[in-house]
Structure 1
Amino acid sequence: MPAPLTPRPPAQHRAPKDAGLTLVELIVAVLVLSIALVGILRLQSGSRATLGGEAGRTLALIVAQNRAAERLLPPALQPASGAPATMASQDWTIEEAWEPTAGGLSELRLTVSSTQNPSARAALVAYIAGPTP
C-alpha cells in the first residue's frame, strides 16, 4: 500500500536582509553628493572670474591693434607717439618702441594698459614698411 500523502508546510516568504537603504547609507550618499556639488560650484565661480578678466585683456588688444593701424596713416593724421587712448569708457596708456629690422621694415612694439583696470594689459608687435620714425 502506498504511503499516505502528507501536506507540505506553507512556504515562508522572508525578505532578504539587504532590501532597502539604511539611514546611515542615506546620510553618506547625501554627504558625498553635497561635497561634489560644492566642488562644482567653486569651479564655476573660478571660471567666471577668469572670463571676466578676459574682457579687459581683449579690449587692450583691440586698442593696440588700433594704434598699429593708425601708424599706417599719413603722418599728419597719426596721433602723437605714446598718446593715450579712450575706448569702452576706459583710458588706456600706450607705450611704443620702434626698431629697424634687417629687411628694411620697422618693428613697432606696443604695450597697452588700462588706468582703471590693472589686469587689462596687452602687448603687440607689428611690422611696418619703411624707415623707423
Structure 2
Amino acid sequence: MEFLCHKISGGSASAPALASREAISFLGTVDPETGEVVDPGHQLFGKAIGGKVLIFPGGKGSTVGSYVIYQLKKRGVAPAAMINLRSEPIVAVGAIISGIPLVDGLPADILRLEEGTLVTVDADRGRVIVRDGL
C-alpha cells in the first residue's frame, strides 16, 4: 500500500514500524541514552524506538525535545524515520538537525499499523510504502 505525504525532513529509510496513537514529548518520554520509552503512562512504554519507523500523531512539550532527538541520533538509537499526522516545530527541527526523514499528512489509519510491519519512508519523493499490516 502506498501513501502520498508531505516532506518535512528529507531522506529515505526502510525499517519495521512502531506506531502510537499518543503524541510524544521526547523530553522525559524517551531516554536519550538508550532510545527506550521510559514514561510508564505512554502507550509505547518499554519499547525501543531506535532503528524503527516511528509513527505518532505529533510531538508535544518542551523545545528541548529537538535536542533529545539529536542526542538519540548521535548515540545511534534514533528512529530510522518518523511519520506524523501533523508535524510540529519541535519534532521537525529535531529531525532536520539529525538527518532523520520525517513526513506528515497521512491518514489517521497509519497510527494502527502493526508493530514490525516493514515501512519505507521516501520523504524526497513524498511517499510512504507499507508492506501489509494495516
Higher helix share: 1
**Structure label with greater radius of gyration:** 1
TM category, shorter: under 0.3
Name the TM-score, length of structure 1 as normaliser: 0.21
Name the TM-score, length of structure 2 as normaliser: 0.21
Higher RCO, Cα 8 Å, sep 6+: 2
